[in-house]
Each structure stands twice: as structure tokens, then as C-alpha cells.
Chain A
């Protein structure tokens, strides 16, 4: 159990770095809509995010698509 706990501490803030104000807004909205269920993103969710955010990350997408 001890190992499991330290594993929890190892990610989170350290993995993400500081959240931007925009990311904080996404997170708070996610919490609000999911009603504290803390769901993981599924494949379908990721695909939806990609469609919605494509304009923001066009160059990244093209890099990914053509690599």
C-alpha cells in the first residue's frame, strides 16, 4: 500500500506542471459536468476533443498525421 501511495504522489502536479488559467477552466467545467465521478477519458472522448480543438493544434495534427 505504501508503494501505491507514493505512486499517487509521483504524478499529478509533477507530471502536469502548473495549470494555466485556461486549463483550470477546462478542469473545473469537467468536474462540474461529471458531478464528481472522476471519469477517465475514453477513446471516443479523445476523438471528440481532437475534433473540437483541431483548429488550435493544426500544425501538431499535421505533424502527427504525416509522420
Chain B
């Protein structure tokens, strides 16, 4: 019974956005590179590290963000934000935001610039109409 309970134990980071992002990204890259190749490119000694990150068994160390972002061909700031979330919730993210401001990805910069341009730099609030538009963009 004990063994069964242990095998069914929840992995500490399995619900994290990073684990979900990684699972999706590895699938997208599968035609071009394997999980082991991604791990090697990111500088992980253990070739199973990507599988461990995907399953949420372990968290992504911040010092691995730049190399893993290169291996995953994604924006390092996106990965940094996701890794930050794994560190311990809102207070860590808040502290970094307070010092450095919100960490935004290249694509997020483009979105904010489009919002500024479309509104004529009037700093529009997020209305229900705006929410509906964004949901529409992502088919939600």
C-alpha cells in the first residue's frame, strides 16, 4: 500500500505552467530534435532532465534558463517567467517586478505596442469588450 501511495504521489511542479509549456514545446520540436538532444544542447548532464522537468518532478534552475531557451528556440524571458513561478509563487515574482519591472517577452512587447498604437496612447483599461476580443483571438 505504501509503495502504491508513493508512486501515486503528486510531483511538486506537475501543475506548473513551465511543465505544461515544456511538454507542448518538446512535441513541437520532435520532428527536428529529441528530448535527449534538447537536454544536451541546454547543458544538462542528465539526458532525462527534460523528462523530469516535463513531469514536474524537478524545477528549472534559473541559471539554465538561457541555454534551455536556445535549445527550445523560445524567448528566454518567457522561460524565465515560468521558472520564476516555480520558485515559490507570487512574492518572488513581485520582488523581481518591484526591482526590475515586469519581465516581458519580445512578443509581449509587440502586443503592448499594438495596444498603445491602437488606442492612440490613451492607456486604455481592460474592459469586458477588450477581454472578449483577446478571448476571440485565442478561440476561448
Contact = CB atoms under 8 A, between A and B. Distances in A.
A20 B138 CA distance: 24
Dominant secondary structure of chain B at its interface with chain A: helix
**How big is the B interface, by class?**
35 or more
Contact of A16 (B74, B113, B117, B129): B113
Contacts of B63: none
27 contacts: A11-B109, A12-B103, A13-B101, A15-B113, A19-B102, A23-B112, A25-B125, A26-B112, A26-B115, A33-B137, A35-B20, A36-B17, A36-B21, A38-B75, A39-B107, A39-B138, A41-B107, A41-B114, A46-B118, A50-B118, A51-B133, A52-B129, A53-B119, A57-B122, A60-B117, A60-B121, A60-B122
The 4 closest A-B pairs by CB, nearest first: A57-B120, A60-B120, A56-B119, A53-B119
Interface of B: 17, 20-21, 24, 66, 70, 74-78, 82, 100-126, 129-131, 133-138, 140
